[in-house]
Structure 1
């Protein structure tokens, strides 16, 4: 139906348009918790606008991957919103292209291309950031697969819409230990993938930066695409965490205009709640040395295993 196609376009547009707003909200609350004023929630939009109007400076050692990575990474972030419940709790025309695991692979492809670009630039910081990112992925990716396995065993499906319906219709499953362990494991992964662990640095002026180090040699519109894609990835992970696992309510079930608007407002409230928890956890934790990165990821891995065990013995 034409309405379903428009709804799917609206889901992608929601991620594209509101991803910088979520980033601005998190940064603003982080500054307020630290008793600072902060730049304002609209600052990411202004930053993107300025970057798109700046000149591109390319390192002499850069190859074709340097140019390809931002475009491919941004395209990957445009694909995943078609597979997950952003505004509706029922599948839309292209939602059958993949499941949660397929969406995870697409997100991983974007991150992999950025790591290659960090190496391709020939910068020392790019190499350091890419190597650190790969080291984190060694533990994060198996844990993510285990989380998806736990979801599959819980809902007998890896389709996000099936998981959403199961948790809404069966409160005993929602409050069961298997689901709670999965929520805790995915929350740690959320911190890892959005650079909110105490080993990360969200600025480009500190030596323990990871994400910023990989894109340090980029400038102008290419840097804008990378930063925008990173914000979209954060938005997508928050959407999966909220609409599939933690707060599966508040989605439109008929696809009418009023229901879609209500689901958008509900999504904003969910993000405010989750981002407040993320900011509190990030601020309350002390800064850790990089070599201790395995501690939270090992905890997430153990929680995912406990979820699978709890599901089998219930």
Structure 2
């Protein structure tokens, strides 16, 4: 199996990528470019996840093919203080729109208010800020992630058993949406399944440690829901391998595992029978439509709730709009589908 990148390797790779993005796409500090396009500021949220590293690759490609005018791209490394500082730098260097993916969706409100006062529209990728105006959220339906994971495990386990759930950061709307939907679905539809909800703050080492404790107390655990394969897959498989519990799907003692992300490493694990399914979070479409809406915002375009021409639906939020992109379930039956981004990105 091709494992996920180590934290240090991922950080180094992202640093190299950021240099390439900044030198290849930035046009200096002005608000215009040789092509006459307004400047767009883009912040990458983290580099310790293969999902977000894939998103960065797609952004680089889309910026190049689109000819977008971007300021030197920053990375906030899962630190809201860095994000605030990076956005301030965008303001100071003439950004006419900002693309961000705030991991703490409650702490970014004052920054959004400041940008709104300066009439700088914001596109939020993957996460929906709790407060503060946004021009567009580019996201999939995260409650559907939790519900789909619950239904898959419920069916596979025949409505009985014990499941460990690696909850993401509950200060993030994504962690809350996935966790609440999973819990609601389990309670309503599969009361015979006992769920161990394990808060992890999107940290693979925390998930591994809590899983080890859970397994010691519940050796009959027969299901796992990982809310982010990009950070949880490698440490989970390593722990199960170490304990002799990584049995292929279909064999006695196999622990049924469903994940979220759709990275190539998850697809490899599905092919090998190590995990059973993932929900493909569209890294390619996140990059494509983040850039699309950023450029539209600089041109003064507006959008309305309803179906789009790219198989998604725009919904109305209290603080803006959200384009909910499709996120398909991937199992052994469709894991080789070439239309899935996880089958086309390098790894």
Instruction: Report the TM-score when normalising by structure 2.
Output: 0.29
* Higher share in helix: 1
Higher relative contact order (CA 8 A, sep 6+): 1
Larger Rg: 2
Instruction: Report the TM-score when normalising by structure 1.
Output: 0.31
